Amino acid sequence: MESMEIDQNTAKDLLSHGAFFLLIDLPVGSTIGIDFSEYSVGVKFKGFKMIPPGLHFVHYSAVDRKFPTQTSPRSGFFHIFQPKEIYIRRWDGGDEDISEILLDPDEVQRYSDNLIGSLDQHLAPYPFSEYRKWTQLTNYIGVNVLNTLNPNCGKIRSVTQLVSLKYPQDIQPSESLPTTNRRLTVDNLMSYMEIEPDSRIKFAQLSKLPRLPEGATSSDLTKHCIDQSYTLDETLKRYEKPDDILGELQFAFVTFIIGQVNDSFDQWKLMLKLLCCSDAAINKYPSMYFNFINVLNLQLREVPEDIFIDIVDNENFLVSVLRDFFYNVFCNPNTDRKVREKAIVFKLHVTEKYKWDFEEEPEDELPVVVT
């Protein structure tokens, strides 16, 4: 994907209309980034300037106070910056995270008054060469999608946040017993932990959605196991319009690639399989599927090579779901012409670039009739 070099006129426009993000007191040696950029924090760093208005992802890893050469797991948050917005937060050394307490108005005004003066040299300009790539990979993450998916705490964390439940009396540890006799094992302990609810990304729970309508017959069961359009329709009910599901696909991709959230990778694969294996939906939502091909094509171009190899090697996942998708598009005579033409170009591209074979279906992937 081509990058955009900032020209003089664009620079002037961003200086007058771009937003600012300041993070006060972030420890030296930490890392911080916005979208696809990442920087090591020096003594002068205070934040970013010339941020193009719109959605952005700010991420950070604080240096470990006991082990200065190590940083904590990545955290981040999405924010829709307004033109000329000045967004200021302070680092909380006790919690080792961005403080939830907002700065008082006088302090905000003091920083604001110095943005163009003494503070300017402490602010890194937004990496505009990555801006086009960022907008193309997030163009369906609108306000509705962001509000639907964002954790209640507002933070995206690469490490799952767990909270303990109350232990049943029969597995309470006893300090008076030898270690070998204690009934509280690691497995017992983990079984009484759960994900902290406010930290959970609110992805569509695809495994919990119905696979077929009520009263379905045995023949319907076979049909809906092969064609997942019914489940896709149920998923779309959580959104205002069909294209919003592409926003969830992009949200999962970005929070995995940049936010380093493994659960997001799992969700991306589940959503990809749902979209590729929904035969009837391709005719029902032609515009959404036309846009889906664009989204997936861009994602495959931008996924880092080491991660891309893992995706392909993972039970040949991509080849398998794309084979299903191309079959559903090309074998249905009623497929929308624009979708068919877009799929032809996409298939040629991935076939030539990755040398994938979509024509011969492995025996262990042949359709199975469900009884």
> Could you report the per-residue pLDDT of 53-91, keeping only the tens digit for each?
999 999 999 987 777 678 899 999 999 999 999 999 999
Q: Is residue 151 part of a domain?
A: no
Q: Supply the pTM of this predicted model.
A: 0.85
Q: Alpha-carbon dihedral of residues 155, 160, 163, 168, nearest 10 degrees? A: 160
Report percent pLDDT > 70 for the chain: 79
Tokens 């719109």 belong to residue? 54
As a whole number of angstroms, the distance between CA 195 and CA 151 comes to 12
Q: Is residue 150 part of a domain?
A: no
Say yes or no: 216 and 341 in one domain.
yes
Give the per-residue pLDDT at 176: 46
Say yes or no: 123 and 185 in one domain.
no
Q: Is residue 145 part of a domain?
A: no
SS (H, E, C) 163-179: EECCCCHHHCCCCCCCH
Distance of CA 273 to the CA centre of its chain: 17
Say yes or no: 265 and 304 in one domain.
yes
CATH (domain of 65): 2.60.34.20
Burial annotation 233-260 (CB, 10 A radius, 16+ → b, else e): bbbbebbeebbbbbbbbbbbbbbbbbbb
Between 179 and 246, whose confidence is greater? 246
Give the per-residue pLDDT at 370: 45
As a whole number of angstroms, the distance between CA 7 and CA 3 comes to 13
Say yes or no: 210 and 323 in one domain.
yes
As a whole number of angstroms, the distance between CA 228 and CA 246 comes to 17
DSSP string, 201-264: -----GGGS-SS-TT--HHHHHHHHH--HHHHHHHHTTSSSTTHHHHHHHHHHHHHHTT--HHH
As a whole number of angstroms, the distance between CA 162 and CA 269 comes to 24
Tokens 């569509």 belong to residue? 204
Q: Is residue 157 part of a domain?
A: no
Q: Is residue 156 part of a domain?
A: no
Phi, psi angle pair for 76, to nearest 5°: -170, 180
pLDDT in tens, 242-275: 999 999 999 999 999 999 999 999 999 999 999 9
pLDDT in tens, 122-161: 999 999 999 999 999 999 999 999 999 999 999 999 987 7
Say yes or no: 56 and 188 in one domain.
no
Averaged pLDDT, 300-304: 84
As a whole number of angstroms, the distance between CA 84 and CA 88 comes to 13
Between 296 and 8, whose confidence is greater? 296
Residue-averaged pLDDT of the chain: 84
Q: Is residue 26 part of a domain?
A: yes
Averaged pLDDT, 349-355: 88
How many distinct structural domains can be found in the chain?
3
Q: Is residue 12 part of a domain?
A: yes
Tell whether the model's pLDDT for residue 220 goes beyond 80: no
The contacts of residue 90 (CB under 8 Å, 6+ apart) are 23, 24, 25, 98, 99, 101, 103
Give the per-residue pLDDT at 369: 43
CATH (domain of 231): 1.25.40.550
Say yes or no: 104 and 47 in one domain.
yes
Say yes or no: 290 and 307 in one domain.
yes
Say yes or no: 87 and 217 in one domain.
no
Say yes or no: 170 and 226 in one domain.
no
pLDDT in tens, 40-49: 999 989 999 9
Q: What's the domain range around 171?
A: 162-195
* Structure tokens that stand for 293 in this block: 């091909």
Q: Is residue 356 part of a domain?
A: yes
Helix (H) or strand (E) holding 47: strand 47-51
Say yes or no: 175 and 257 in one domain.
no
Residue 337: closest CA among 283, 298, 278, 281: 283
Cα Rg of the chain (Å, integer): 24
Between 247 and 221, whose confidence is greater? 247
Give the per-residue pLDDT at 208: 83
Say yes or no: 235 and 283 in one domain.
yes
CA pseudo-torsion sign 289, 135, 129, 10: positive
Averaged pLDDT, 212-240: 77
The contacts of residue 135 (CB under 8 Å, 6+ apart) are 54
* Structure tokens that stand for 251 in this block: 């949200």
As a whole number of angstroms, the distance between CA 269 and CA 271 comes to 5
Tell whether the model's pLDDT for residue 3 goes beyond 50: no
Averaged pLDDT, 264-293: 96
Averaged pLDDT, 1-17: 64
Give the per-residue pLDDT at 191: 57
Give the per-residue pLDDT at 367: 44
Amino acid in the structure at residue 162: L
Give the per-residue pLDDT at 23: 95
Say yes or no: 94 and 220 in one domain.
no
